[in-house]
Structure 1
Amino acid sequence: MKEISGVNLANFIIAGTEKAGTTSIFTYLSTHPSVCGSTVKETDFFRNSFTGNREKDIVSYSNYFERCSPEIPIVMEASPGYLGSGAEVAARIHTLVPKTKLLFILRNPIDRIYSSFNFHVGKLNLDSDLSFEKYIDKCIAYDSGQRTPAELGIKEWYLKIISFGRYADYLKYYYQLFPENQIKIMFFENMSQDIDGFMCELCQFLEISPDYFNGYDFRRINVTYESKLKWLHKIAVYFNAKSERFLRQRPELKQLMVKLYKKINQAREGYDEISDENRDRLKQYYLPSITALQTLIGTKNIPWNI
């Protein structure tokens, strides 16, 4: 059921986390006949556009789902930034769509921040000359209150990424407001090992048929890669952002365009392994939060060995 009579608002939100397969899951589910995805994957409505004026917010938010038929049971968006902004966003979501179901896909926080760093370097959000070690130095300096973003020369959002891996710090706001049967915690590692089982479990949570995904071609989406020509990549990033609403409704065309672009400008896919020194450093940073996460989510096993 939709939250407000006569308009479509999301009744399923993929709310986190970055670099944990949210784009892939959104893309797969968007093809399911019982699911309608937002016109852009990351509406970020509850971070950037929510006003607290109920009538205005209903109209603004429903614009992302105007193409969704009333007969389709699941209306979905995916904004992974909602997890790290949980202190504000959880209450906003609860105010507008209190019955929505929430999915949080979590990933080993060390692997996640390293993937995020390489992704944002590839997207030209971080300087390509910045080493991962120096990036961690800057994140910790900001996280501890020693330096400001202006002093560190990096936008605040990218400095906060290290803290977003302390999942329990942000999930607690959702557990305080939403009943547990509306919250689904899943893991990137399980998705990577058994995508069929992952999607079957998710479909059961959404109460839609998993049979649609029998024999489905689960292509990896939004894979990090290094570009050859930075100027060309800047143009491609700009074009992708401006055309997402159009291309989101034409996934086959987008896949073709990405394939052709990679042939022209991809230097390599993926990135080097994280060093043992950096992994050990981050292990000490994240260990207390992993203990807190296990306490918060209870019996569900966390598939990380850090």
Structure 2
Amino acid sequence: MALPDFFLLGAPKAGTTALHAALAQHPQLYLSAVKEPKFYLCDGGPPRRSGQRGPGDAHSAQEWVWRRREYESLFDVAPAGTLRGESTPFYLYDRLAHRRIHADVPHAKLLVVLRDPIDRAYSNWMHLWADGLEPIGDFASAFAAEPQRVAAGWAPFWHYRGLGLYGEQLRDLIGVFGREQVHVLRYRDLVETPDAAIDQVCRFLGVETGHVAQPARENSRSYVEPGPRTAVLSRVVRAGAAAGAWVPPQVWRRASGPLLSYLQKGGARRPVLDAEVRMRLVEFYRDDNALLTEIAGVGYSDWMGATSRGQFAPSGNES
């Protein structure tokens, strides 16, 4: 039975894509060709439609690898002697996933990548907005809409606030696996001191250092300016994504490609999040930040200020 030896967890837009690509270069590691298979978000069956009711959710859910044989086959081709791994950031957020992973791979090592929760949420919103799926063109308003969206069954990718409550999530993860099996990595360190950060990861996994190049700058979106054109195109995208729930995912991806290219045409510079808005939202995380500091044993006070932190994307964009 081929199952992972380690997992990359965290939250969307926190650098797991870049870290996955970087670690895949290591000769002693094998990362699944499918990133984010989401197997442990499921319980032996396909993702429930009742939890996939946001724009594009049901279409995206078709790409989840929920059949055990298909999941195991992701690791069948791993070279002998390599450590196998996969990346599904949502595993940190989903408490049932913690227990499913532990039941299958109790010895698993867990890499947890954390990013400033406001920066992460803003980038998450920007990603969905640029893809034409986010119907609210103001980040703070979309952030505030989360309770209604959760109640309506929108998938976790829309949980801008909840995904950033790392203290609670890490506490529960360590409660299942123990502290020695969890390595916490800051997104900021991947940006500012990538070599040292990657070496720490390699030492935690028990493989040689010095085999991995710096994480690539990838997985970013250009900013899409609000306006009548954006509103019309986005409505078409959301309607198409809803219809795409009933056809193979590759069909909608091919059909939507030209439309998304036109929507994102121009590559406008992303606006920096207003400092006043940021400080208002920071208050949602103050208690959780204190919990995270207690659990991790290091401070995250820089997340509580008015300044955004490091990013992977080219100048003007965020990953």
TM over 0.5: yes
Runs (5+) with no aligned partner, structure 2: 46-65, 252-256, 305-319
In structure 1, the residue corresponding to 2:159 is in which secondary structure? helix
Identity of aligned residues (%): 22
Matched-pair contact (CA < 8 Å) for 1:42–1:77: yes
Q: Aligned residue for 1:250? A: none
Q: Distance in 2 between matches of 1:265 and 1:57?
A: 35
Matched-pair contact (CA < 8 Å) for 1:65–1:75: yes
Q: Distance in 2 between matches of 1:48 and 1:107?
A: 25
Q: 1:136 to 1:305 in 2, by over 3 A?
A: closer
How many angstroms does 1:50 deviate by? 4.0
Q: Aligned residue for 1:279? A: 278
Question: Which has the larger helix fraction?
Answer: 1
Q: 1:296 to 1:302 in 2, by over 3 A?
A: same
Selected match of 1:22 from 16, 35, 46? 16
Matched-pair contact (CA < 8 Å) for 1:8–1:70: no
Normalised to the residue count of structure 1, the TM-score between the two structures is 0.75
Q: Aligned residue for 2:138? A: 131
Q: Aligned residue for 1:210? A: 209
Amino acid at match of 1:164: L
Q: How many residues align?
A: 263
Amino acid at match of 2:130: G
Q: 1:68 to 1:92 in 2, by over 3 A?
A: same
Amino acid at match of 1:138: A
Selected match of 1:40 from 9, 26, 34? 34
- Please report the RMSD computed on the Cα atoms of aligned residues, expressed in angstroms: 3.2
Selected match of 1:220 from 185, 193, 217? 217
How many angstroms does 1:40 deviate by? 0.7
How many angstroms does 1:37 deviate by? 1.2
Q: Aligned residue for 2:199? A: 200
How many angstroms does 1:199 deviate by? 0.8
Selected match of 2:116 from 100, 108, 113? 108
In structure 1, the residue corresponding to 2:220 is in which secondary structure? coil
How many angstroms does 1:194 deviate by? 0.8
Q: Distance in 1 between matches of 2:295 and 2:118?
A: 20
Q: Aligned residue for 2:152? A: 149
Q: Deviations over 1:96-116 (max 9, x none)?
A: 011110011101111111111
Q: Aligned residue for 1:93? A: 101
How many angstroms does 1:302 deviate by? 2.9
Q: Aligned residue for 1:66? A: 76
Runs (5+) with no aligned partner, structure 1: 1-6, 244-257
Normalised to the residue count of structure 2, the TM-score between the two structures is 0.73
Matched-pair contact (CA < 8 Å) for 1:11–1:75: yes
Selected match of 2:89 from 80, 92, 115? 80
Amino acid at match of 2:84: V
Matched-pair contact (CA < 8 Å) for 1:43–1:79: yes
Matched-pair contact (CA < 8 Å) for 1:187–1:303: no
How many angstroms does 1:133 deviate by? 2.1
Q: Distance in 2 between matches of 1:269 and 1:77?
A: 33
In structure 2, the residue corresponding to 1:189 is in which secondary structure? helix
Quick check: 1:161 aligned with 2:160? yes
Q: Distance in 1 between matches of 2:78 and 2:140?
A: 45
Q: Which moved more, 1:220-229 or 1:279-288?
A: 220-229
Q: Aligned residue for 2:52? A: none
